[in-house]
Amino acid sequence: MEKKAPRRDAACVVVIMYMTAVLVFCSPGLVQGRSPLKNRALKSDIKVPATKDEVAAEFLSWVASVVTDYENKTSSQTNSPSRLPNLGIKAEPPIYYVDQAGYGNFRTVQEAVNAVPEGNSMRVIILVKPGIYRERVNIPKSKGYITLQGSGKESTSIDYNENAASAGSTYDSATVAVFSDYFVARDISFRNSAPAPPSGAVNMQAVALRITGDCAAFYGCGFYGSQDTLNDDMGRHYYKNCEIVGSIDFIFGDAQSLYKDCALNVNAATYGSVTAQKRESSSRRTGFSFVGGSLLGSGQVYLGRAWGPYSRVVFAFTFMQDIVIREGWHNWNDPNRQRTAYYGQYKCLGPGATENGRVEWSHELTDAEAAPFLSLAFIDGQDWVTEP
C-alpha cells in the first residue's frame, strides 16, 4: 500500500524555510569566508542579520506578516470567522493605562471605561496607577469582561462623596457602579467619603460600590464608607481577601455572594448592623455567605437585619470580636420575618461568636446544613471563578 507523504500547513513550511535560511546565512562558515554560498549571498540584496537580536526581531516581524497574509487569504475564501495557524502565539488582552499624572493612555478611570467597545465580549484590563482618583465611575451593561487592576488597595483608590440626599437615591450615590457581567477588580479600593450620618439621620446613605452585573469577582479590594458601603445588589459574586468597612447595613442587597477570608471592620459610633440581605422569595437562590475572615471594630452590631422577608445570611469559621449584639439578628421590626428569614452560624470563633442568647429563630448549623454555603458551588463559581 502506497504511503502518502505527511501534509504540512503552508505556514509551517515557510517557517522551516525561513529558519533554514537563517542558519545558512548566520553560520560561522559565512562569517569566516568558508561558505560556498558566500559570493551569491554578498551579491544579492539580502541584508544578513548581524546579531542574534536582529535575527529574532526579523523573525517575529516575518511571523506577523505570515499571520496577516494567512488570515486575509482565509477570510476571502469563507464567510466564517478566520482562524489563525497555530504558531504558538497567544493573544494577550489589551491593557488600558490610567495615570492622573498623564503618563498613561487616560487620566481618569471613566475615560478608560468609555474607550472599551460597546458589546465587548473579550477580557480588557484597565491598569490604574497609584493615586486617589476623585471621580464617579459607571460601567454600563454593554461593556462586559472588564478587569480593574490597581497597585494595592492602600495605594490605588476611587473616591467620591455623594449620599442619598445629594444624588437622589441610595443607589445613585455609588462612587462606582458596575452593571456589566464578568467584571473583575484586583488590588484597588472603592470609597465614599461622605460624612457618617449622625444618629437618627435620614437620606445619609452613601454607597462606595454598587454591583449589579453577574459573575463578578473582587480580589484584595477595599470598600470604605459608613452606612450602606457595599451595595451587593444582584447577580453572583465572589469576594476574596477583601476589606469592607462601615456602620449600618454596610453590606446590603439581594445578590448571591460568597465572601472568602474577608475582613469586616465596623466603625459604628453606637449601634449598627453588618448585613441587610433582601431575598424576597423562598425560590430565590440569593444570600450572603461569609467563610473565614474576621469581624472587628467599634460599637455594637447585629450580624444582619431582615431587609427582605426571606433574608439569608450565614457566617462560617469567622472570628468575631465582642462587638456583636447578643441576639445576633434583627427582624426589621416585622415578627413575620422570623418564620421565613434564614440566619446561621457554623464553627465561628471569638467572644462575639457565642451562640448563647441568639434569637431562637436563628440556626446553629450542622455539617450537612452548612455544606452548601462553604464552597464556590454556592455561587456556581466552579463555572466562572478564576483564582488569581
Catalytic site positions = 249
Torsion of CA 216, 222, 226, 231, to 10 degrees: 0
What are the phi and psi torsion angles at 154 (to 5°)? -80, -25
Cβ atoms 71, 65 nearer than 8 A: no
Alpha-carbon distance of 313 to 327, in angstroms, equals 15
Measured from the Cβ of residue 81, the count of other Cβ atoms closer than 10 Å reads 7
Sign, CA dihedral 108-109-112-118, equals negative
Measured from the Cβ of residue 302, the count of other Cβ atoms closer than 10 Å reads 22
CA 234 from chain center: how many Å?
15
User: Which whole-number Å values give the CA distances from 31 to 18, 28, 36, 46, in the listed order?
Assistant: 19, 5, 12, 15
Contacts of residue 236, defined as CB under 8 A and 6 or more positions apart, other chains included, come to: 214, 215, 216, 255, 256, 257, 379, 380, 381, 384
Query: What is residue 306's three-state secondary structure?
Result: strand
Cβ atoms 243, 250 nearer than 8 A: no
Contacts of residue 142, defined as CB under 8 A and 6 or more positions apart, other chains included, come to: 118, 119, 120, 180
Alpha-carbon distance of 386 to 290, in angstroms, equals 19
Cβ atoms 242, 218 nearer than 8 A: yes
Max CA distance (Å), the chain:
98
Residue 363 identity? H
Alpha-carbon distance of 349 to 342, in angstroms, equals 20
Alpha-carbon distance of 231 to 229, in angstroms, equals 7
